[in-house]
Amino acid sequence: MKNYKFALVTGASQGIGLACAKRLSQDGCRVIGVDIYKPTTVGSEFANFLTADVSNSSDCNKAVQDAGQIDILVNSAGIVGPNMPFWDVTDDAWLQTMNINLTGTFNMMRAVVGQMRIRKWGRIINIASIAGKEGNPNLAAYSASKAAVIGLTKSVGKELATDGILVNSIAPAVISTPINQKTDPKVLEYMIAKIPMSRVGQPEEVAALVSWLASEECSFSTGACYDISGGRATY
């Protein structure tokens, strides 16, 4: 009987999350998708699809309980948040961005890590952003939340370094996904102008990196942040 790996991908209904689900399925994983809304049509790449609000810890715990064994966690759920000068950002908009992008990542990691520690094997990949390293103007909440995801990844990676669980993050530049359709065109123009390759990235390119980070071949890397930015990253 084939020894399947079980992967749980949040934000799996579209964009990077969906691309990761498809790639991990192609790699032979049984993929459980998680999103706040279940898509009308669930693709064959999913062994199961669960609805959960990642900002709600009870939802996350229930999703993991319903999913069963989880060997690989990809935290891709996220929002851009308020697109305006930081002094105009409301309390509610700030908290919503932090709750989904940062607390949602924390909630899912905490929900799966117990079973991973028992089995002494796991892969956790958190989708951060180049904005978390460099900051994007008029996206203060988003940039701050993604910087926090990078810091969270580094901290937890060190905590689990001897437990057989590798925890890494990815910092994409602007990627061609539905999440960016609501971004101010001037902000998108600014971000693309900073990319030496002069183009946006594709979700499948991010998924290819996730595939390696989730694999047995990745064995001596944890607490790291991998850039996939078309040359934009400066550190």
DSSP state string for 148-187: HHHHHHHHHHHHTTTTTEEEEEEEE-SBSSGGGGGS-HHH
Torsion of CA 122, 223, 215, 18, to 10 degrees: 90
Is the distance from CB of 195 to CB of 175 less than 8 angstroms? Answer: no
Would you mind telling me the total number of residues written for the chain in this entry?
A: 235
Q: Which of 36, 180, 151 is nearest to 96 (CA)?
A: 36
DSSP state string for 35-78: ESS--SS--TTEEEEEE--TT-HHHHHHHHHHH---SEEEE---
Q: Please indicate whether residue 37 is annotated as part of the active site.
A: no
* DSSP-derived 3-state class of residue 9: strand
CA gap 13, 40 in Å, rounded = 10
Of the listed 37, 142, 226, 235, which one is catalytic? Answer: 142
Token readout for 184 is 């101010």
- Catalytic residue IDs: 142
